[in-house]
Structures are given as C-alpha cells and as structure tokens.
Structure 1
Amino acid sequence: MSTKRSFWVTGASQGLGLAMVEQLLDQGHQVAASGRDSQELDALGKRHGASLLRLPGLLTEASQAAAIDQQLLDKWGALDGLIINAGACDYLPDDTTLGNLFERIVQSNMSATESALNCALSALRKGKQPQVMVIFNRYSALQLYNPTQPPSGVNSLPQGVREQRQPLLDRGIDLTVVAPPALSVSLPPEAWTAQSAAAVLIAELEQRDPELMLEALGMNNLWPLPEHVR
C-alpha cells in the first residue's frame, strides 16, 4: 500500500495481531491496537510514537468498547480499515480451562467481533475506501451447540460475519473473511509464522477479495493459547 492509511487491529497483544500492527507501522500507516496489556505493544509505542494509538483491550466489556469510536474520531477523524483478529485469546475469562477452552474462544470472539464492528462503523463510514478484514482460525470457526444444525449468526461466528457483508457494502465498506477451508476442500496446512502470515494478509488488503483461505500448521504460532491450557 503506497498511500498512508489508518487501521485498527484487534487481538493485537501477541501472535498474528501483534505482527500485523508492527508491519503496518513499519509501512508508515497509523495503527490503533487493542488487546491485553503487552510489553511488545509498549515497545512498538516507544518506537513509533503517535503513529500507534492504544485502545482499551477488553472489547467484551461494554464500558471500554463504547469509548473506542469516539477515540478514533477524536484522534484521526476517520478509519480506513478494521482488522479483526477473531482467533485471539485476548478476551478469554481468567477461569478458562482446557475443558471449556474452545467454546470460550468462539463465544469471546463473537462478543469482541460484534463490539468492534459496532464501535468502528461511524469512523469507517468517514474513511477512504473503508474495509474490514476478519480473520478466523480452526478454533474460532467452530460451530457451537448442535453441529448438525445449519450455520447461522447464533452458532457460527464466520457465518454471522458473512451476514454483515451486505449491510457493510450498503455503507460503502468492503468485507474480507479469512478462514480455514471447509473440510471438503483439500488445502494442506502451511507452517506459517506470525510474521509471514501478517505479510501476506496485509498485501491482500489491496485486493479486497470477499473470501480468503488460511490453514495454519501449528496454530500456536499465530494465535498463542494461554500457558495454563497449552
């Protein structure tokens, strides 16, 4: 991307989200980052100064999420891109166990994704060629409840996001969904690192494809699980 733009990256404390923040900043863009407290984000803030805007990390908490839209407008007046890292563990409750881990990854990212879309909408509508990219992994793409039921916005986070495509397009906002392929599709997983996956996804932003596939071998490189459940 040759033009300087403004982005908000969620789930940015580590892994893929952090790598996307770092690379966008290195390319000269303005970046807002939300996620858990992170020494790596602190270091990026010292290196890039005002180009990095730290936002409240817990999008699942209404009081924090409600303030974000105004922060973006006060700082930049608009937002060109929202990158939702919807495979992150940033929003997991502290009492998450191995037994409920995957369900909580889906549920917490459902809440965070909905909050991010709502918070960013007015700023995106003021942006230049605004776009949203939502990135899923095998965990967050799982269907909740009875897997024999058809996917819907209630039981499937990717389906819920896809249902927002037309409402976003009606507002002039493009949507790219990045997700693992369906089980019926043969796509060998690749040994992505956070940095290599971030580089490819950032390059794909300009293409604005509606759908992209990402299958990772060793997902902990991109979406680290909490240490106590690894």
Structure 2
Amino acid sequence: MGKGTVAIHEDIAAFLASHADEGYRAFQAKLIPNIDAATIVGVRTPELRKFAKGLARREDAGEFLAALPHGAFEENQLHSFVIAQERDFGKLVGEIERFLPFADNWATCDQLSCRGLAANPDAALVKVRQWLESDHEYTVRFAIGVLLQLFLDERFRPEFFEWVVAVSRPEYYVNMVRAWYFAEALAKQPAAAERVIASGALDEWTHNKAIQKAIESRRIPFEQKGRLRALKRRS
C-alpha cells in the first residue's frame, strides 16, 4: 500500500470516526437490514456528500476508488458520491461498472447518481441493456433506476416498458424498483403505463405494488386512481 493510499484511508477513517452518530447508526441499520450492522458507522448523508467533494479533488482519490471492497457502508457511500462528480462520460461509465459489483444494498445503489449518463443518452441506453442482463441484483436495480430517472420524460420510448417488464428475478429490491418505476410512469406517461398495468404483463406482486405506490401519490388524478384500484389482482 503506497503512502498516498495510507494517507487517504487515514483521512477517511478519521472523518468517519469524528462524525459517527450512534443513534443514526441504529436508524440506518433498521433501514438496511440485509447488511451487517457492524459495517455501519452512522454518518449522515449531507456530511458524506460534503466530504466526498473534497475527496474527488485529491490526487490520491483514485487510490481510494481502487481499494475495493470497502469495509464500511459509509465508504461505499463516499465512493458513490466521488464517482458521481466525474464529468467524462467514458470514465464515469468505467467507474460505475467497476463499483457496481460491490454494491450490496439499496441505499448505496440508489445514491450512485446516474445524472452524468445524460451527457450521452444513446450510449447510456446501450449500457442499461447490458446491466439489465447482469447476474448481480444491484446492477439490475441501478439499470432500472437509470430508466426511471433519465428516460421517463422527454427521452421516453414505449419499448423501455418492455425492458422492465422482461426483468424476471426473485429479489425483493429488484422488484421493488420495478414497482417504483411503473408507479412513476403512471404519473409521467399515464396512458402508456396504464396499458401495461391493464395488460397484466407484470408479475402479481410487482403489479399490485406499482398500483399501491401510484394510488399513494398526489400526482395521480382521482379518476386514474379509481381505474387502478379496479385493476388490482387478488390471488
């Protein structure tokens, strides 16, 4: 381990120790039950984001990014926030693909910003198709998150619904983001999304969860909520 690597890891460890909050650590452990609570330090996200801005400007930042896997949940969060600041599309994709296999929870996955991928939407969609075919749960979740955040407005194409419908996996956190995606679609692309729901193309759990989340949304008109309630499936 080089001198630079030691320095940046010591600085990160010192930062995490000085900003640890036991109450917040316990709160985070409940929100992310699938990871070892001992890996959670308890540092709030705004503090991590602020610190990550400084890390990204360091000459030895690359040494931290290369030191995978990280030991602490907050180190993964810092990693996400650092690479999100990359403005070169090719480098950003490379960093995302290097990091995604080590994402082991929904929070790290969802806080890995995909906004930089909007710089080249066509190339981003090529990567999304690849990520959707991954064997890794959170890579698939990230891919659907990209479609949700970047491709439900002016960049939307009906075929994207087919991509998400075609994802057939047992993991809760994959199917939850599929439901979230269609709930958002019911607000942003209501006619097309409602046709998908009415078709019964989704598995029952995702179908019903998407309807539930849409009905809870203030952006869905009363009349549409009535139609969606009628479409709920009962075993």
TM-score band w.r.t. shorter chain: 0.3 to 0.5
Higher strand share: 1
Higher helix share: 2
Higher RCO, Cα 8 Å, sep 6+: 1
Q: What TM-score, normalized to structure 2?
A: 0.35
Larger Rg: 2
Q: What TM-score, normalized to structure 1?
A: 0.36
